[in-house]
Amino acid sequence: FPFVVASAEAWADAQARAAAISRAVPLSRRLPATGLADVAATLALDLPRDGGRALVLAGRPHAAVALANRSPGSRAVTARDTATLLAAAAECAANLVVVAPRDFSAVALERVAVALATRPAGAPPAELAPPAACPCGGPAPASCACTCPPH
């Protein structure tokens, strides 16, 4: 699975850290530094389609997680320490991890990235899985044309 490293609205050193993380994770790719909405939109398209994972260095990690989780197929988490971050990523089968680079040392960020890139994908918990079908037996309610009560 592809692994993406990005930075959005993070402090100046974030680009250097993103480059170091990209070097630590073989075959990873790095997105150019842009705004939070642009990074979230790009990852919302790429991650679910490719089955990839991403690490985003963000100045506002909670806003980034809220924005990312609005997109179907994105399961974003954040935390301020390595153990909690990895536990949250495993619990949610996260495909997007967002951190404030000021909360982690450069070495800790590289270790987190390697752990995320190499762990088995795992299935998301049932609560986070997209709806499989409409109660009427048709496709998910957003695209179903029937007139059953959920519509």
- Could you tell me the pLDDT band of residue 14, with boundaries at 50, 70 and 90? confident
Tell which residue, 89, 1, 10, 79, has the closest CA to residue 46: 1
Distance of CA 43 to the CA centre of its chain: 7
Query: Model pTM?
Result: 0.81
At 34, is the secondary structure helix, strand, or coil? strand
Query: Which tens digits make up the pLDDT trace of 16-46?
Result: 899 999 999 998 999 988 889 999 889 988 8
**Rounded Cα gap, residues 139 and 31, in angstroms:** 34
